[in-house]
Amino acid sequence: MNSFPLGSGVDAWETEVSFFGLQTGAYCLHSVPENFKEYAGRIPHHLVPIGIDPGGNLICLSIAEDRCGQIFFADHDYFSYDGDEPTDDGVEFLASSFESFFGSLRDYSDEWK
């Protein structure tokens, strides 16, 4: 079970998440520590990447004081690649906690209601 909905109405769609691990080292491309370094300065500073979807969009955990522990979707089309300060454009709230987000995941073939 790794699928979740985004958007609403005619703009609704579904995507899947692959979670990052905690391992470190030379061959750990899919780890929280490595991706935290990789996306530093390209996504808002309060977000820690914890997963990715097939299109390169990130699933992130917020460490902001007022949103600590909440889960967000960060659309890769809005990442900062030119040194500009990253903004919350393209960032969508998913869940109030990791537990809530994880519990909402479904098989990709399930219908969303």
Residue 81 tokens, joined: 């690649």
- Are 23 and 13 within 8 A, CB to CB? no
- Are 111 and 7 within 8 A, CB to CB? no
Distance CA 3, CA 68 (A): 23
68: region left, alpha or beta (phi > 0 left; psi from -120 to 50 alpha):
beta
Distance CA 92, CA 78 (A): 12
Answer yes or no: is 109 within a domain.
Answer: no
Structural domain including 89 reads 3-104
Count of domains forming the chain: 1
Answer yes or no: is 110 within a domain.
Answer: no
Answer yes or no: is 111 within a domain.
Answer: no
Q: What pLDDT, on the 0 to 100 scale, is given for residue 23?
A: 80
What are the tens digits of pLDDT across the range 9-64? 777 888 999 999 988 777 766 889 889 999 999 999 999 999 999 999 999 999 99
Answer yes or no: is 42 within a domain.
Answer: yes
Asked if residue 8 has pLDDT above 80, the reply is no
Answer yes or no: is 39 within a domain.
Answer: yes
